[in-house]
Structure 1
């Protein structure tokens, strides 16, 4: 179980750092796609907040304490805190790269032997993360 607690806290830290990056982009985005991005970022960070809560509660259900400090989150996160994100392209790139990393981590963990409740949680998170990644990836200027 120690491995599961550690993995869940690593995921928790990553989701919190990602959520802050999404807020950063939401608050600071500028450009022709402002209205669309502002609204979609709002949806993304609200959905991610639910994921954060689910992961933290899973840690508690398994009898451990979820990481709950900003310094702790930054230390264990799989993604780095971005600088101020004003540029549409840089912001979308941050979202896409982060979702890609989170989805990869979720797949890696699902492939491990973990308890059924945690596996179900991660599988549900993966489905939502893959959908979000696909949609945000479609916004990238790939030309």
Structure 2
């Protein structure tokens, strides 16, 4: 049998090409994908609160997707497009606001005051301070 010798660049290319196969693991017959670089952010998912004036019968909020996109839930004039987490305690939502004869896109910056499996509390910092001007509570949908 003939031995093949690969150069260092060729070995590197083969290693990089094999990473998806290395990352995929099989446990008890179920295939699980593991990411060593990025863990799943607990913000990912749908977060809702009662819509104003609905007596809790209608909810509004947003869905945050793993790819960084976002979507509004039951908010026709505020369309969430993207999201990103900055550090441990900041959430930036990029939203398109739709008004009468006007549309604009802006980044909304929130402080994450509380986050667990069921509840998310966001606040907007008061201008020029580190204190929050108000808190809003969302629940996982």
TM-score (normalised: structure 2)? 0.25
Structure showing the higher helix proportion among its residues: 1
Q: Which structure has the larger Rg over C-alpha atoms?
A: 2
Structure showing the higher strand proportion among its residues: 2
Higher relative contact order (CA 8 A, sep 6+): 1
